[in-house]
Structure 1
Amino acid sequence: MTDSRTALITGANHGIGAATAERLAADGCAVILAFLALEEPDDPGTPEKLRVNHRQNGSLVAERIRRRGGKALAISADLLDETQIPRLFDAAEQAFGPVDILVNNATASLSDTFQAQSRDWIGRALSPVTAATFDRQFGVDARAGALLIAEFAARLQQRQGSWGRIISLTSGGEKGFPQEVSYGAAKAALVNYTLSASLELSDFGVTANAVHPPITDTGWVTDDVRAAIAKDPHFFSVAEPNDVAEVIAFLVSDAGRRVTGNIIRMG
């Protein structure tokens, strides 16, 4: 039951974040859509659809939700700026009430490698691992995720709350993530923070889980990617953002109240 709950979803202007916001709103949540519209340079390996999605304003998603009778507020926030995190919670409390559900979905969306290559396996720009790639990827995916969980936990305890949900999106694997090495490492850190929260916050009625989506078409999937996935026994097919949102909605629901401390891998 998500009626009267407030959800904060990061990276919610497109893809999985937007689909999650729309699904939770349909289930009765008031939703805060945190986003950062990005204008990216031309890259022959990056589909134009993805570039359009990245520069989309989250207010468009919020407006769709409101037209359907839901409660939604979109807020532009650069998660590399730590001062933006309490600002998001303040805005949520002013508009709808305390944040009960936190979905860590935002990512820095860069590809780096230890190899001497300038293009990844599908032709996207690839850079070497540098201090800059580390700082950006870990700043958004790991540090911001940790600070969001910390803010969520502090406010929950201050109000003596007894219900909460934390869901963090992850990717890569235990053996690394070739050609997206900082991304995979940052997500591994976020998972560890999330699993720690599942233990430390259980006394407050909080569940915390990580969701590992399959290959999901958020705008970057090409025909070549679909062909590769069709041959891979690890996946059923290319997923849509709504497929992932359904799993998140289950974890938020009463049916998911005893599911905590897991990495849920989708096929």
Structure 2
Amino acid sequence: MIDTGLAGKVALITGGNHGIGAATARALAREGASVLINYLRMPALGSPAPSDDASSPGLAFYNSRRAQDADEVVRNLREQGGRAQAIEADLSNPTTIPWLFEQAEYLFGPVDVLVNNADYCQADTFIPKGYPGSADLTPGGYPLSALSAESHDRHFAINSRAVALMMAEFARRRITKDLRDGRIINLSTDAASGFGQNTSYGASKFAMESYSRAAAHELGPYGITVNIVSPGPTQTGWITPAMEQALSEQTPLRRVGQPEDLADVIVFLASQQARWLTGQILYVGGGHRML
């Protein structure tokens, strides 16, 4: 049996009310870590068609997941004997970030593991409406709008700036307290190098990857590792059955990912087994992308 060294550690996870964040909270709690979950209930993405079944993956189902709180996640963790708390707060407000760390320290102690999983995604495009290649919806049926200053800034506020500030706050508190062996794991996308119809999302994730490598370089002497998990298509509620079939056929392992697949890798990166790994991107998607 492998000892991850996570028992008694404190983890702060953003975007933990559903999907990968919730699965990560459960996985870290099973290893004995205390978990503070940050989340923000999000408005609906467009209007589902009348035929859209809210009980199976698709727009209506995904909207319901995005709008839920983290109470059930916390309740389940506590029922399993874990120590957990959830706080709803908007990471686009920079004052939220030091406050979250203060709350974690008050509840559990200094944060040892930071998982930046929260993101903002609203499909946007360079192509003007009415011209070849334009569309009102993505192939998955999600609203598609023209790239604008607003769409750019909303993506970068969460996917890039908030992650950078979270890392800076984590580093400041670890370094000034002379604490070693910190772990930062940031969630990206395997299309970050260029994501058609999700242009601002992909670009903001690519910027986050640059911040992560810089942080790994600078924080290594302080015993802090920084790594990136880059998911392939993962079923967090947004992949319709038709999309899932097509994506599975494009993936060597012939299925889409599940949140638990990502959570297991995140636990590894947080563990003592990953002590000699930093500044790396792990593409976790069944071979959907290979280098």
Q: TM-score range by the shorter chain?
A: over 0.9
> Of the candidates 247, 250, 263, which is equivalent to residue 232 of structure 1?
250
Query: How far did residue 182 of structure 1 move?
Result: 0.3
Q: Give distance in 2, aligned partners of 1:175 and 1:150.
A: 24
Query: How far did residue 173 of structure 1 move?
Result: 3.2
Equivalent positions of 1:161-200 (< 5 A) are: 161-173=179-191, 175-200=193-218
Matched length? 267
Letter matched to residue 34 of structure 2: A
Over residues 195-252 of structure 1, what are the superposed CA-to-partner deviations in whole Å (9 max), with x where a residue is unaligned? Answer: 1111111111111100011210000011111121122145641111000000000111
Q: Which runs of 4+ in 1 moved over 2 A?
A: 41-47, 172-175, 233-236
| Segment of structure 1 superposing worse, 173-182 or 100-109 | 173-182
C-alpha distance 38-94 of structure 1, shift in aligned 2 (>3 A)? same
Over residues 175-209 of structure 1, what are the superposed CA-to-partner deviations in whole Å (9 max), with x where a residue is unaligned? Answer: 40000000000000111111111111111111110
- Establish whether residue 31 from structure 1 lines up as the match of residue 35 from structure 2: yes
Q: Give distance in 1, aligned partners of 2:207 and 2:151.
A: 16
Letter matched to residue 85 of structure 1: I
Please report the RMSD computed on the Cα atoms of aligned residues, expressed in angstroms: 1.4
> Of the candidates 21, 25, 41, which is equivalent to residue 21 of structure 1?
25
C-alpha distance 174-80 of structure 1, shift in aligned 2 (>3 A)? closer
Equivalent positions of 1:100-179 (< 5 A) are: 100-115=112-127, 116=129, 117-173=135-191, 175-179=193-197
- Establish whether residue 58 from structure 1 lines up as the match of residue 70 from structure 2: yes
Tell me the residue number matched to 1:81: 93
Q: 1:255 is paired with a residue of what secondary structure?
A: helix
Over residues 95-143 of structure 1, what are the superposed CA-to-partner deviations in whole Å (9 max), with x where a residue is unaligned? Answer: 0000111111001121111123211122211011001111111001100
Letter matched to residue 47 of structure 2: D
Q: Give distance in 2, aligned partners of 1:246 and 1:206.
A: 20
Q: 1:201 is paired with a residue of what secondary structure?
A: helix
Q: Give distance in 2, aligned partners of 1:146 and 1:48.
A: 32
Over residues 137-195 of structure 1, what are the superposed CA-to-partner deviations in whole Å (9 max), with x where a residue is unaligned? Answer: 10011000000000001101110111100000001436400000000000001111111
Tell me the residue number matched to 1:216: 234
> Of the candidates 7, 18, 22, which is equivalent to residue 11 of structure 2?
7
Stretches of structure 1 lacking an aligned partner (at least 5 in a row): none
TM-score, length-scaled by structure 2: 0.89
| Segment of structure 1 superposing worse, 36-45 or 145-154 | 36-45
Q: 2:92 is paired with a residue of what secondary structure?
A: coil
TM-score, length-scaled by structure 1: 0.96
- Establish whether residue 43 from structure 1 lines up as the match of residue 37 from structure 2: no
- Does structure 1 conserve the Cα–Cα contact (< 8 Å) formed by 2:192 and 2:205? no
Greater gyration radius: 2
Identity %: 41
Tell me the residue number matched to 2:261: 243
C-alpha distance 174-39 of structure 1, shift in aligned 2 (>3 A)? closer
Q: Give distance in 1, aligned partners of 2:136 and 2:60.
A: 19
Q: Give distance in 1, aligned partners of 2:6 and 2:237.
A: 29
Q: 2:203 is paired with a residue of what secondary structure?
A: helix
Stretches of structure 2 lacking an aligned partner (at least 5 in a row): 53-57, 130-134, 287-291
> Of the candidates 201, 207, 216, which is equivalent to residue 219 of structure 2?
201
Q: 2:25 is paired with a residue of what secondary structure?
A: helix
